[in-house]
Amino acid sequence: MLIADKLTFQIGTKTLVQDVSFTLSPGQLLVILGANGAGKSTLFHMLSGDKKPSQGTVTLNGKDLKTYTIQELALMRAVVNQQNTMNMAFTAHEIVLMGRYPHSLKGSAVRDTEIACKVMDLTGISHLSHRSYLSLSGGEQQRVQLSRVLAQIWDVENALLLMDEPVSNLDILYQQQTLAIAKKLAERGVMVLAILHDINLASQYADRIIIPYHPKQVILYAGENDIATGKQTGKQTFDRFVTLFEHVRQKLPNATFTFISIKPSPSRRQYFPENDIANQLIKQYLG
C-alpha cells in the first residue's frame, strides 16, 4: 500500500503542496487531475522519492519511502516521467531491457529478454525493436519508455507504477491502449497512479480521482469520501463549469467544459453540479 500522510512541499515562503493525505492500495488505478500549476507534478515527485517533503511522510508497503535504498526502490517502483531525455543511440529493445537492470543481480538474462519481448508486444512496438531510439517519433519514444517500466515491474508483487502524463504525446488509439494496460496491471495487483489532463479518460479508467486546486490547495475527490483530505474541501476545480453526461455508446461518464470568463477573478465559483443526474452517475462509476 502507498500512504501519503499530510504531505507539504515549500520553496522558501511559497507552498506548492499543502497537507495532502491519501492511500493507494494494490489493485487500484488512481488519477490526479488538475489545472496547470496546481502542484500535481510536485506531489508526483514526492511520491516517487525524487523530492523530499517539507512535512509529512510517504509510506510504501509499510516502510517510509526515504529509508529505501535506490536498489530496493528500483525493485518495486517504476516511474514514467513526463519527459525522457536520452542522447545515445540505443535500440528500442536495449532501452526496454534497461528496465530489467535492477533484477540483473539475481535474475536470468533469458528471462529478462522474454519479459522485454512480451511487453514490447503488449505496447505494440515489436516492429521498432532494432530501430535507434533517437530515430523514433515522440509518441514512439513514449511507448518505448512505457515498455521499459513495464519490464521493470512485470513480475513484482505489490509493485508501484507512477505515470506522469503518460498519454501526452500519443494519438487517440495509443492513449486508450496505454490506459487499458495500466488498468490491466492494476487488476493484477499493481498500484497505479497517473497524472492526466483529460477528465473523460480519467472517468473511463480510474478507480479514484483526486484533484489539487491552486492556490488554495484544495483536494477534491470522486468516489469514496476518504480518498483524500486537504486543507479544505469543496467543488471548485479548473476555471470552468463542468457538465457531466453519459456517453451514448460506451455508457461511461463524459464531461464538457463551458468557460465562465476569460478574465481571472478570485471571486468566481466553479463546481460540479450537485443535482445533475450524470454527476450521480460518475460518482457511482468511480466508486
- CATH number of the domain that residue 222 is part of: 3.40.50.300
The answer to whether residues 47 and 106 belong to one domain is no
Report the pLDDT value the prediction gives residue 77, as an integer from 0 to 100.
Answer: 94
- pTM (predicted TM-score): 0.76
The answer to whether residues 14 and 67 belong to one domain is yes
Q: How far apart are CA 235 and CA 221, in angstroms?
A: 9
The answer to whether residues 126 and 10 belong to one domain is no
Q: Which ranges in the chain belong to alpha helices (H)?
A: 40-48, 70-74, 92-98, 109-122, 138-153, 172-187, 199-205, 277-286
Report pLDDT digits (tens) over 63-75: 999 999 998 999 9
Total domains present in the chain:
2
> Given 110, 133, 153, which residue is the final one in a domain?
153
**Mean pLDDT, to the nearest integer, of 178-196?**
91
Asked if residue 275 has pLDDT above 90, the reply is: no
Question: What are the Cα distances from residue 127, in Å, to 88, 116, 120, 189, 228?
Answer: 20, 13, 9, 29, 42
Nearby residues of 126 by Cβ (< 8 Å), 6 or more positions away: 117, 120
The answer to whether residues 230 and 160 belong to one domain is yes
The answer to whether residues 94 and 224 belong to one domain is no
Write out the residue range of the structural domain in which residue 182 sits. 2-76+156-234
CA-atom Rg of the chain in angstroms = 19
The answer to whether residues 102 and 165 belong to one domain is no
Burial of 262 (0-12, 13-18, 19+ CB in 10 A): exposed
Asked if residue 242 has pLDDT above 70, the reply is: no
Strand boundaries in the chain, DSSP class E: 2-11, 14-24, 29-32, 55-60, 63-64, 77-80, 160-164, 191-195, 208-213, 218-222, 228-229, 240-246, 253-259
The answer to whether residues 91 and 229 belong to one domain is no
257 assigned to some structural domain? no
The answer to whether residues 164 and 200 belong to one domain is yes
**Mean pLDDT, to the nearest integer, of 141-160?**
92
